[in-house]
Amino acid sequence: MVNYVSRKFSKLLFIVVIVIILRKYFDIKIKYLFILRVEKLKVLVFGSGGLVGTSLSKILSKSKKVSNLVLSTRNDTDLLDFSETKNKILDFKPDLLINAAAKVGGIVANNSYRTSFILENMKINMNILESSIPLTNTRIINLGSSCIYPLNAENPIKESTIMTGKLEPTNSPYSMAKLSAIEIGRAINYEYGNKIINLMPTNLYGPNDNFSKENSHVIPGLISRMHSDMENKIDNFLIWGSGKPLREFLYVDDLSMAIEFLIDKDIDTDLLNIGSGEEISILDLAIKVKETIGYEGSIEFDASKPDGNPRKLIDSTIIKDFGWKPITNLDSGLKTTYEWYLKNFDKIRN
C-alpha cells in the first residue's frame, strides 16, 4: 500500500513539474505560436514585382506549404483603385494575402516627395485592407518598415515602442502611412475578426532592388553610384551626412524565409520585428561596398546634408524565439547583390 501511494505521488509530482516547466516555456515562446493548419495554402502576393515580391516568388514557389501562388503586380491590378483591388482579392479568395506593395525610396526620395509617399501608401493599404473585410478566414501579412518607430526610441527597438514618440522627420509621411495600416488592421480585427499580422523588417537589400542614383535606399544607391564613378574614373565618392549613423541591414531572402516560416503558424501578436541583429556605420558600409565593387577612389562625406536617425537597430527577439534566424551575412549579401546588378545592368530598375 505504501509503495502504491508512493508511486502515485511520484507520478503526480512528475506531472506537476512537467506542467510548471511547460507553462514557463509557453509564456516565453509557445504561448503565441502553434501550427495553424496542415493543408497547403492559396497565397496572393501584392507587389510581386519589387524587391520583396520577387524574393517571395522564388521562396514561396518552392514551399511545401503553398498549393497555389498568385503573384500580382501593377500590370494586372492598380492598387490605387479600390474596385480593381477588391475584385482581385474576392475573385481569388486566398487563404493568405501578403501585402508587399508600397511606394518606397531612400532618404532623398522620402524627403523630396513627401505628399506622394503618404498618399499612395495610404491608398494601397486602405484598399487592400478594406477589400479583405468580407473574407474573415483570409489571413493577411502586411509588410511595414522599422521607420514606424520613434526617432529617440531606445535601441534595440522593441515592438512595444510603437507610437510612443516623435518620428524621424525626413520620412515621417511614409512612416505615418505604415502606422495607419497597422491601426486600420487592428480596427478591422477588433470589429470583424480578420487576422492581420504586421511585419516590420529592418533595412532590406538584394537583387531586384531599385538602384536609382537619386531615389534608392542606401545599399543599392551606394552600389549604383560607386559603380558609375568607377566606370567613369571619378576619384572622389561623395556621400550625404557624416557617415556616423549606425544601420542594420537584412538580405531580402532572409525576410522571405521568415514569411515562409510564419505562414502556417498562428501568432497571438500583430506586430513582429524582422532584423539581422547586426549594425554597421554608413562609413564602414561604404568601405564594404567599395571592396565588393573594386572601386579605388576615396570616400568623402558632405556633413551639411542630414544624417537621418543616428542609430536604428530593431529587437527581433520575439521571432527569433519562435525559431527563425537570418542566414545571410552582409559580406555575402553584398557580393550576391552586386553580381546580380552586373548581370542585369541593361534591364535594371535604375
**Residues labelled as active-site residues:** 174
List, in sequence order, every residue forming a beta bridge with 301; answer none if it has no partner.
239
CB-CB neighbours of 300 under 10 Å = 12
Alpha-carbon distance of 322 to 342, in angstroms, equals 37
**∠ Cα 65 71 73 (to 5°):** 155
- Give Cβ neighbours of residue 173 (< 8 Å, ≥ 6 apart): 110, 114, 115, 117, 118
Instruction: Give me the residue label for grid cell 514557389.
Output: 61
> In the structure grid, which three cell numbers stand for residue 106, read together?
531612400
The DSSP-derived string for 143-190 is E--GGGS-TTPPSSBPGGGTTSSPPPGGGHHHHHHHHHHHHHHHHHHH
Q: What is the CA radius of gyration of the chain?
A: 23
List, in sequence order, every residue forming a beta bridge with 69; answer none if it has no partner.
43
List, in sequence order, every residue forming a beta bridge with 197; answer none if it has no partner.
141
